[in-house]
Amino acid sequence: MHLYRRIREARMVASSLQSTRHPVLAHIIPIRRCNLSCAYCNEYDNFSAPVPIDQMLRRIDLLAGLGTKNITLSGGEPLLHPQVDEIIARIRRHGILSGLITNGYLLSPRRIRQLNIAGLDYLQISIDNAVPDDVSMKSLKVLDQKLVWLSRYAAFAVNINSVLGSAIRSPQDALTIAKRARELGLTATIGILHDGSGQLQPLAEEQQRIYAEFARSQPTRWFQFERYNAFQDNLVRGLPNEWKCGAGSRYLYICEDGLVHYCSQQRGRPGIPLQSYTQEDLDREYTSIKPCAPYCTVSCVHRVAAIDQIRQNPLAALHRFFDADDTGTSQLPAAVRGLMWLFAPESNTGRPRRAGLVLLRLLGLSKH
Ligand code: SF4
Ligand code: SF4
Protein backbone atom coordinates (compact mmCIF):
# COMPACT_ATOMS: atom_id res chain seq x y z
CA MET A 1 0.00 0.00 0.00
CA HIS A 2 2.80 2.37 1.05
CA LEU A 3 4.86 1.56 -2.06
CA TYR A 4 1.81 1.86 -4.32
CA ARG A 5 1.08 5.33 -2.89
CA ARG A 6 4.72 6.37 -3.43
CA ILE A 7 4.48 5.27 -7.07
CA ARG A 8 1.26 7.27 -7.54
CA GLU A 9 2.88 10.32 -5.87
CA ALA A 10 5.88 10.04 -8.19
CA ARG A 11 3.52 9.90 -11.17
CA MET A 12 1.69 12.98 -9.86
CA VAL A 13 4.96 14.93 -9.54
CA ALA A 14 6.14 13.79 -12.99
CA SER A 15 2.91 14.84 -14.72
CA SER A 16 2.91 18.16 -12.83
CA LEU A 17 6.47 18.77 -14.05
CA GLN A 18 5.49 17.89 -17.60
CA SER A 19 2.69 20.44 -17.89
CA THR A 20 1.59 23.60 -16.09
CA ARG A 21 -1.91 23.45 -17.54
CA HIS A 22 -3.70 21.48 -14.81
CA PRO A 23 -4.25 21.90 -11.04
CA VAL A 24 -1.77 20.00 -8.87
CA LEU A 25 -3.95 20.26 -5.76
CA ALA A 26 -7.55 21.22 -4.96
CA HIS A 27 -9.08 21.69 -1.54
CA ILE A 28 -12.83 21.13 -1.52
CA ILE A 29 -15.33 21.80 1.27
CA PRO A 30 -18.03 19.12 1.77
CA ILE A 31 -19.45 20.95 4.80
CA ARG A 32 -18.71 24.34 6.35
CA ARG A 33 -19.95 23.35 9.80
CA CYS A 34 -17.47 22.42 12.51
CA ASN A 35 -17.94 20.67 15.85
CA LEU A 36 -15.28 22.95 17.41
CA SER A 37 -14.83 26.73 17.47
CA CYS A 38 -11.13 27.60 17.58
CA ALA A 39 -10.69 31.29 18.42
CA TYR A 40 -8.34 32.06 15.50
CA CYS A 41 -10.34 30.24 12.78
CA ASN A 42 -12.20 32.00 9.94
CA GLU A 43 -13.13 28.84 8.02
CA TYR A 44 -16.16 27.40 9.81
CA ASP A 45 -19.73 28.00 11.00
CA ASN A 46 -21.96 26.11 13.41
CA PHE A 47 -25.06 25.65 11.30
CA SER A 48 -24.39 24.70 7.65
CA ALA A 49 -25.84 21.49 6.20
CA PRO A 50 -23.62 19.04 4.29
CA VAL A 51 -23.31 19.66 0.54
CA PRO A 52 -25.70 17.12 -1.10
CA ILE A 53 -23.80 14.04 -2.26
CA ASP A 54 -24.80 14.33 -5.93
CA GLN A 55 -23.34 17.87 -6.01
CA MET A 56 -20.15 16.75 -4.29
CA LEU A 57 -19.65 13.87 -6.73
CA ARG A 58 -20.31 16.19 -9.67
CA ARG A 59 -17.67 18.62 -8.34
CA ILE A 60 -15.14 15.78 -8.02
CA ASP A 61 -15.87 14.79 -11.63
CA LEU A 62 -15.39 18.41 -12.77
CA LEU A 63 -12.04 18.63 -10.96
CA ALA A 64 -10.99 15.36 -12.59
CA GLY A 65 -12.01 16.87 -15.95
CA LEU A 66 -9.63 19.79 -15.30
CA GLY A 67 -6.82 17.27 -14.76
CA THR A 68 -6.49 17.76 -10.96
CA LYS A 69 -3.90 15.39 -9.45
CA ASN A 70 -4.67 15.63 -5.74
CA ILE A 71 -7.98 16.45 -4.00
CA THR A 72 -8.15 17.12 -0.25
CA LEU A 73 -11.36 17.43 1.75
CA SER A 74 -11.31 20.30 4.20
CA GLY A 75 -13.84 22.29 6.14
CA GLY A 76 -15.30 23.02 8.62
CA GLU A 77 -14.99 19.43 9.75
CA PRO A 78 -15.27 17.12 6.72
CA LEU A 79 -15.99 14.02 8.84
CA LEU A 80 -19.36 15.62 9.70
CA HIS A 81 -20.40 14.89 6.11
CA PRO A 82 -22.42 11.65 6.28
CA GLN A 83 -21.14 10.36 2.90
CA VAL A 84 -17.49 11.33 3.16
CA ASP A 85 -16.39 7.78 2.23
CA GLU A 86 -18.36 7.94 -1.00
CA ILE A 87 -16.64 11.22 -1.91
CA ILE A 88 -13.18 9.75 -1.23
CA ALA A 89 -14.00 6.63 -3.25
CA ARG A 90 -15.06 8.84 -6.18
CA ILE A 91 -11.74 10.74 -6.01
CA ARG A 92 -9.85 7.45 -6.10
CA ARG A 93 -11.97 6.11 -8.96
CA HIS A 94 -10.57 8.94 -11.08
CA GLY A 95 -7.01 7.86 -10.13
CA ILE A 96 -6.53 11.05 -8.08
CA LEU A 97 -4.65 11.19 -4.74
CA SER A 98 -7.11 11.77 -1.89
CA GLY A 99 -6.55 13.70 1.34
CA LEU A 100 -8.52 14.77 4.40
CA ILE A 101 -7.88 17.52 6.94
CA THR A 102 -9.68 16.89 10.22
CA ASN A 103 -9.69 17.96 13.84
CA GLY A 104 -9.72 14.25 14.68
CA TYR A 105 -12.57 14.36 17.21
CA LEU A 106 -14.78 11.96 15.22
CA LEU A 107 -12.13 9.31 14.60
CA SER A 108 -12.63 5.81 16.00
CA PRO A 109 -11.15 2.44 14.99
CA ARG A 110 -14.29 1.79 12.92
CA ARG A 111 -14.10 5.21 11.22
CA ILE A 112 -10.42 4.69 10.40
CA ARG A 113 -11.15 1.29 8.84
CA GLN A 114 -13.94 2.85 6.76
CA LEU A 115 -11.49 5.49 5.49
CA ASN A 116 -9.06 2.67 4.60
CA ILE A 117 -11.77 0.95 2.57
CA ALA A 118 -12.75 4.20 0.84
CA GLY A 119 -9.11 4.52 -0.30
CA LEU A 120 -7.90 7.59 1.59
CA ASP A 121 -4.23 8.38 0.85
CA TYR A 122 -3.41 11.10 3.44
CA LEU A 123 -4.91 12.46 6.62
CA GLN A 124 -3.78 15.54 8.51
CA ILE A 125 -4.77 16.47 12.04
CA SER A 126 -3.90 19.86 13.47
CA ILE A 127 -3.09 19.86 17.17
CA ASP A 128 -2.64 23.27 18.77
CA ASN A 129 -1.72 22.65 22.39
CA ALA A 130 -0.94 20.00 25.01
CA VAL A 131 -4.09 20.71 27.04
CA PRO A 132 -7.31 22.45 25.92
CA ASP A 133 -7.75 26.18 26.57
CA ASP A 134 -10.19 28.87 25.48
CA VAL A 135 -8.32 29.33 22.16
CA SER A 136 -8.39 25.72 20.98
CA MET A 137 -9.69 22.31 22.02
CA LYS A 138 -7.44 20.56 19.51
CA SER A 139 -5.17 19.24 22.22
CA LEU A 140 -2.81 16.34 22.57
CA LYS A 141 -4.52 15.38 25.83
CA VAL A 142 -7.88 14.96 24.06
CA LEU A 143 -6.54 13.49 20.81
CA ASP A 144 -3.76 11.17 21.99
CA GLN A 145 -5.99 8.07 21.89
CA LYS A 146 -7.01 8.95 18.32
CA LEU A 147 -3.33 9.10 17.33
CA VAL A 148 -2.76 5.67 18.88
CA TRP A 149 -5.68 4.29 16.84
CA LEU A 150 -4.35 5.93 13.69
CA SER A 151 -0.91 4.41 14.22
CA ARG A 152 -2.52 0.97 14.67
CA TYR A 153 -5.25 0.90 12.04
CA ALA A 154 -4.63 3.53 9.33
CA ALA A 155 -3.52 2.26 5.92
CA PHE A 156 -3.11 5.92 4.83
CA ALA A 157 -0.30 8.35 5.66
CA VAL A 158 -0.92 10.48 8.77
CA ASN A 159 0.64 13.87 9.47
CA ILE A 160 0.24 15.85 12.67
CA ASN A 161 0.47 19.60 12.15
CA SER A 162 0.94 21.99 15.05
CA VAL A 163 0.97 25.76 14.79
CA LEU A 164 3.01 28.68 16.08
CA GLY A 165 1.56 32.16 16.38
CA SER A 166 0.45 34.85 18.77
CA ALA A 167 -2.86 33.10 19.60
CA ILE A 168 -1.02 29.98 20.84
CA ARG A 169 -0.21 30.39 24.53
CA SER A 170 2.42 27.65 24.97
CA PRO A 171 4.56 27.51 21.82
CA GLN A 172 6.76 24.78 23.33
CA ASP A 173 3.78 22.41 23.05
CA ALA A 174 4.61 22.11 19.33
CA LEU A 175 7.76 20.14 20.29
CA THR A 176 5.83 17.83 22.64
CA ILE A 177 3.22 17.16 19.95
CA ALA A 178 5.84 16.40 17.28
CA LYS A 179 7.72 14.06 19.63
CA ARG A 180 4.57 12.11 20.39
CA ALA A 181 3.64 11.91 16.68
CA ARG A 182 7.06 10.48 15.81
CA GLU A 183 6.93 7.99 18.72
CA LEU A 184 3.79 6.62 17.09
CA GLY A 185 5.40 6.43 13.63
CA LEU A 186 3.47 9.43 12.25
CA THR A 187 5.03 12.49 10.57
CA ALA A 188 4.91 15.98 12.08
CA THR A 189 4.93 19.45 10.56
CA ILE A 190 4.56 22.95 11.92
CA GLY A 191 2.50 25.82 10.50
CA ILE A 192 2.44 29.56 11.15
CA LEU A 193 -0.79 31.20 12.17
CA HIS A 194 -1.97 33.86 9.74
CA ASP A 195 -4.23 36.84 10.02
CA GLY A 196 -7.70 37.00 8.38
CA SER A 197 -6.23 37.29 4.86
CA GLY A 198 -3.55 34.59 5.08
CA GLN A 199 -0.76 37.06 5.89
CA LEU A 200 2.10 36.58 8.30
CA GLN A 201 1.75 37.45 11.97
CA PRO A 202 5.37 38.05 13.04
CA LEU A 203 6.75 35.42 15.42
CA ALA A 204 8.33 36.34 18.75
CA GLU A 205 11.94 35.31 19.51
CA GLU A 206 10.85 32.34 21.64
CA GLN A 207 8.60 31.07 18.83
CA GLN A 208 11.46 31.40 16.33
CA ARG A 209 13.70 29.39 18.66
CA ILE A 210 11.08 26.64 18.91
CA TYR A 211 10.65 26.59 15.14
CA ALA A 212 14.42 26.12 14.71
CA GLU A 213 14.49 23.33 17.31
CA PHE A 214 11.53 21.65 15.63
CA ALA A 215 13.25 21.81 12.21
CA ARG A 216 16.46 20.33 13.66
CA SER A 217 14.52 17.44 15.20
CA GLN A 218 12.93 16.40 11.88
CA PRO A 219 14.27 13.16 10.38
CA THR A 220 16.13 13.53 7.04
CA ARG A 221 15.98 9.95 5.76
CA TRP A 222 15.23 8.79 2.25
CA PHE A 223 12.04 10.45 1.01
CA GLN A 224 11.29 12.51 4.13
CA PHE A 225 11.03 16.19 3.19
CA GLU A 226 9.09 17.64 6.14
CA ARG A 227 12.24 19.26 7.51
CA TYR A 228 12.73 21.46 4.46
CA ASN A 229 10.48 24.46 3.98
CA ALA A 230 12.38 27.42 2.54
CA PHE A 231 9.18 29.52 2.35
CA GLN A 232 8.41 29.03 6.01
CA ASP A 233 12.03 29.50 7.09
CA ASN A 234 11.88 33.04 5.64
CA LEU A 235 8.49 33.87 7.13
CA VAL A 236 9.56 32.77 10.59
CA ARG A 237 12.30 35.43 10.40
CA GLY A 238 9.75 38.01 9.23
CA LEU A 239 11.19 37.99 5.68
CA PRO A 240 9.08 38.04 2.49
CA ASN A 241 9.24 35.30 -0.14
CA GLU A 242 9.84 36.02 -3.80
CA TRP A 243 7.60 33.58 -5.66
CA LYS A 244 4.70 33.30 -8.03
CA CYS A 245 1.47 32.07 -6.44
CA GLY A 246 -0.35 29.66 -8.74
CA ALA A 247 -3.69 29.85 -6.90
CA GLY A 248 -6.62 29.62 -9.30
CA SER A 249 -4.51 27.45 -11.59
CA ARG A 250 -2.11 25.00 -9.95
CA TYR A 251 -4.09 25.17 -6.69
CA LEU A 252 -7.89 25.56 -6.40
CA TYR A 253 -10.11 26.10 -3.37
CA ILE A 254 -13.72 24.99 -3.94
CA CYS A 255 -16.13 26.29 -1.31
CA GLU A 256 -19.40 24.69 -0.18
CA ASP A 257 -21.27 26.70 -2.85
CA GLY A 258 -19.14 25.19 -5.61
CA LEU A 259 -17.22 28.39 -6.39
CA VAL A 260 -13.52 28.43 -7.24
CA HIS A 261 -11.43 30.73 -5.03
CA TYR A 262 -7.69 31.38 -4.86
CA CYS A 263 -7.42 29.91 -1.36
CA SER A 264 -9.23 29.81 1.99
CA GLN A 265 -7.83 33.25 2.85
CA GLN A 266 -8.64 34.96 -0.48
CA ARG A 267 -12.22 33.87 -0.98
CA GLY A 268 -14.23 35.76 -3.61
CA ARG A 269 -11.36 35.82 -6.09
CA PRO A 270 -12.01 34.74 -8.81
CA GLY A 271 -15.30 33.35 -7.38
CA ILE A 272 -16.29 31.52 -10.59
CA PRO A 273 -18.60 28.46 -10.42
CA LEU A 274 -16.59 25.25 -10.87
CA GLN A 275 -18.86 24.07 -13.71
CA SER A 276 -17.92 27.22 -15.68
CA TYR A 277 -14.19 27.06 -14.89
CA THR A 278 -12.23 26.43 -18.06
CA GLN A 279 -8.70 25.93 -19.33
CA GLU A 280 -8.70 29.64 -20.13
CA ASP A 281 -9.26 30.43 -16.43
CA LEU A 282 -6.45 28.05 -15.41
CA ASP A 283 -4.04 29.63 -17.92
CA ARG A 284 -4.96 33.19 -16.89
CA GLU A 285 -4.46 32.54 -13.18
CA TYR A 286 -1.15 30.78 -13.75
CA THR A 287 0.39 34.11 -14.65
CA SER A 288 -1.80 36.50 -12.61
CA ILE A 289 0.04 38.47 -9.90
CA LYS A 290 -1.20 38.06 -6.32
CA PRO A 291 -0.17 41.04 -4.18
CA CYS A 292 -0.60 38.90 -1.03
CA ALA A 293 2.22 36.52 -2.11
CA PRO A 294 5.31 37.92 -0.27
CA TYR A 295 3.92 37.34 3.26
CA CYS A 296 1.52 34.49 2.43
CA THR A 297 1.53 31.62 4.96
CA VAL A 298 -0.62 29.12 3.01
CA SER A 299 1.94 26.33 2.97
CA CYS A 300 0.14 23.90 0.65
CA VAL A 301 0.26 26.54 -2.12
CA HIS A 302 3.98 27.05 -1.41
CA ARG A 303 4.56 23.33 -1.93
CA VAL A 304 2.70 23.36 -5.23
CA ALA A 305 4.79 26.37 -6.35
CA ALA A 306 7.97 24.42 -5.51
CA ILE A 307 7.10 21.94 -8.28
CA ASP A 308 6.92 24.79 -10.80
CA GLN A 309 10.21 26.25 -9.56
CA ILE A 310 11.89 22.86 -10.04
CA ARG A 311 10.34 22.74 -13.49
CA GLN A 312 11.93 26.07 -14.45
CA ASN A 313 15.44 25.42 -13.11
CA PRO A 314 15.87 22.08 -11.33
CA LEU A 315 19.33 22.58 -9.82
CA ALA A 316 18.74 26.17 -8.66
CA ALA A 317 15.41 25.18 -7.08
CA LEU A 318 16.90 22.14 -5.30
CA HIS A 319 19.66 24.32 -3.86
CA ARG A 320 17.14 26.95 -2.83
CA PHE A 321 14.96 24.44 -0.97
CA PHE A 322 17.67 22.31 0.61
CA ASP A 323 20.87 24.38 0.96
CA ALA A 324 19.63 26.54 3.82
CA ASP A 325 19.72 23.53 6.09
CA ASP A 326 22.72 23.17 8.41
CA THR A 327 23.07 19.38 8.24
CA GLY A 328 25.23 19.31 5.11
CA THR A 329 24.57 17.47 1.85
CA SER A 330 25.36 14.01 3.26
CA GLN A 331 22.25 14.12 5.46
CA LEU A 332 19.82 15.27 2.79
CA PRO A 333 17.09 12.78 1.82
CA ALA A 334 18.45 10.23 -0.65
CA ALA A 335 16.02 11.33 -3.37
CA VAL A 336 17.29 14.93 -3.15
CA ARG A 337 20.96 13.90 -3.18
CA GLY A 338 20.26 11.79 -6.27
CA LEU A 339 18.56 14.66 -8.08
CA MET A 340 21.29 17.17 -7.13
CA TRP A 341 23.91 14.77 -8.54
CA LEU A 342 21.89 14.26 -11.73
CA PHE A 343 21.43 17.97 -12.43
CA ALA A 344 24.88 19.19 -11.32
CA PRO A 345 27.51 19.63 -14.08
CA GLU A 346 30.24 16.97 -14.35
CA SER A 347 33.22 18.04 -12.23
CA ASN A 348 35.85 17.20 -14.90
CA THR A 349 34.15 18.74 -17.97
CA GLY A 350 31.74 21.25 -16.45
CA ARG A 351 29.11 19.93 -18.86
CA PRO A 352 25.60 18.71 -17.89
CA ARG A 353 25.38 14.99 -17.12
CA ARG A 354 23.88 12.84 -19.85
CA ALA A 355 21.57 11.08 -17.33
CA GLY A 356 20.24 14.46 -16.13
CA LEU A 357 19.57 15.54 -19.72
CA VAL A 358 17.75 12.28 -20.44
CA LEU A 359 15.55 12.78 -17.37
CA LEU A 360 14.74 16.37 -18.38
CA ARG A 361 13.85 15.16 -21.85
CA LEU A 362 11.61 12.40 -20.48
CA LEU A 363 9.80 14.99 -18.38
CA GLY A 364 9.41 17.23 -21.40
CA LEU A 365 11.52 19.96 -19.76
CA SER A 366 14.29 20.07 -22.36
CA LYS A 367 14.40 19.82 -26.13
CA HIS A 368 18.18 19.19 -26.29
S1 SF4 B 1 -11.34 22.54 14.11
FE2 SF4 B 1 -10.53 23.47 12.26
S3 SF4 B 1 -12.31 24.18 11.09
FE4 SF4 B 1 -12.99 23.74 13.18
S5 SF4 B 1 -12.89 25.72 14.21
FE6 SF4 B 1 -10.95 24.68 14.63
S7 SF4 B 1 -9.52 25.34 13.01
FE8 SF4 B 1 -11.62 25.89 12.36
S1 SF4 C 1 -0.47 34.33 -2.18
FE2 SF4 C 1 -1.88 32.87 -3.08
S3 SF4 C 1 -2.19 31.29 -1.53
FE4 SF4 C 1 -1.28 33.05 -0.53
S5 SF4 C 1 -3.00 34.22 0.32
FE6 SF4 C 1 -2.52 35.07 -1.71
S7 SF4 C 1 -3.83 33.95 -3.16
FE8 SF4 C 1 -3.81 32.78 -1.23
Fold category of 2-311 in CATH: TIM Barrel (3.20.20)
DSSP annotation of 228 reads: -
Closest-CA residue to 141 (of 179, 108, 177): 177
The share of the chain scoring above pLDDT 90, in percent, equals: 63
128 lines ligand 1 (CB under 6 A): no
**Of 29-43, 256-270, 321-335, where does mean pLDDT reach its minimum?**
321-335
Which pLDDT belongs to residue 1?
Answer: 61
Q: How many residues does the chain have?
A: 368
Testing ligand 2's pocket by substitution, the residue of 231, 232, 245 carrying the most ligand atoms inside 8 A of its CB is 245
Q: Which atom of ligand 1 is nearest to the CA of 75?
A: 3
Report, as an integer, the average pLDDT of 315-339: 67
231 lines ligand 1 (CB under 6 A): no
Residues contacting residue 248 through CB under 8 Å, at least 6 positions apart: 260, 262, 269, 270, 281, 282, 284, 285, 288
Q: Where are the domains of the chain?
A: 2-311, 314-362
Which pLDDT belongs to residue 324?
Answer: 47
What span, in angstroms and rounded, lies between the C-alpha atoms of 120 and 99?
Answer: 6
Which pLDDT belongs to residue 218?
Answer: 80
Cβ atoms of 282 and 22 closer than 8 Å: yes
Return the higher-pLDDT residue of 337 and 21.
21
**Could you read off the pLDDT of 220-259 as tens digits, one per residue?**
655 555 556 888 888 988 899 999 999 999 999 999 999 9
301 lines ligand 2 (CB under 6 A): yes
Evaluate if residue 75 carries a pLDDT over 50: yes
**Could you read off the pLDDT of 109-165 as tens digits, one per residue?**
999 999 999 999 999 999 999 999 999 999 999 999 999 999 999 999 999 999 888
